[in-house]
Amino acid sequence: MKKYITVFNLGLQNTFVYRWNYFLRAVFGLIPLAGTVFLWRAIFREPGGGMHGYTYGSMIYYYLLTIVVSNLVTPTEDEWQIAADIREGQINSFLTKPVSYLAYRFSIFLSGRLVFTAVTIPPIIVVLYYFRDYLAFPSNITTYLCAFLSLIMAALMQFFITYSLAMMAFWILEITTIVFIVYSFEYFLGGQMFPVDIMPAGIQAVMKWLPFYYELFCPITIFMERVRGAEMVQALAIQAGWLLITWAAARFMWNGWSAPTIH
């Protein structure tokens, strides 16, 4: 554990070198929110209008939570860094050292998320304060706990998926196309473009069994108390299942390459 704490500290130091890059990315990343606000304001023209239980205020609240959760759980350039290690041969050194490359990258992921979150808090607080009239926090402590659990699992899922995609660099020279294809599905089916639960019931039923639903939308919808009771327990159970699957996939992608090399 001590060696991974050292890696975590090194990751913090390296990330702080580019703190202004993170800050500017966070600031300009808020620009699409303005377009979203105007778009949904046009949709909810009628006073008291709604869409599948959403009002204009709750829709804005949803997109605010999307920004917060995305900053907390989404890896930043991890796949490109891993792919670079593979192409440049730096990953070979991990085969002869008592270090798990998965744990090594996870330590860097944690440090990156910590710094990115710390740097982006000021502009996010400003935005949240501006839209404070639309904020509606849960009244039940169980909701906070379940949303936090879902948030942790969402972050781990995104990391393991990113890691697995990057591992494809062992067989494919350029992984950009594959990464952007997967990210397109995540953006559309994960709730970044629009809330998943405004779609027809049949489509929602299918999407609830896909991993994209649990990478972003699940913790948000739990925090907004749009899923409760047995439905929330089911969502957490499915998310835990996908977490195990993505972890197993990450281990398999590494072992599938390294095992023949070692033996």
For the chain of 263 residues, list the mean pLDDT of each consecutive stretch of 10.
63 57 60 64 60 78 86 79 80 74 84 76 80 86 95 94 89 82 85 84 89 94 93 96 95 70 43
pLDDT at 261: 47
Determine contact, residues 160/249, Cβ cutoff 8 Å.
yes
**Confidence (pLDDT) at 18:** 56
* Residue linked to tokens 């281990």: 251
Length of the chain: 263
Output the CA angle 147-150-151, nearest 5 degrees.
Answer: 85
In three-state secondary structure terms, 162 is helix
Whole-number pLDDT of residue 263? 39
Interatomic CA distance for residues 52 and 58, integer angstroms: 11
CA distance 197 to 250: 29
- Residue 232 pLDDT: 95
* Closest by CA position to 108, among listed 71, 134, 76: 76
**Pure H helices in the chain:** 2-17, 19-29, 31-43, 56-73, 78-87, 101-130, 141-167, 176-189, 201-207, 217-223, 229-262
Q: Which two tokens stand for residue 233?
A: 């327990």
41-59: b (≥16 Cβ within 10 Å) or e: eeebeeeeeeeeebebebb
Cα–chain-centroid distance for residue 237?
18
98: helix, coil or strand? Answer: coil
Can you say how many angstroms the Cα of residue 188 is from the centroid of all Cα atoms in its chain? 13
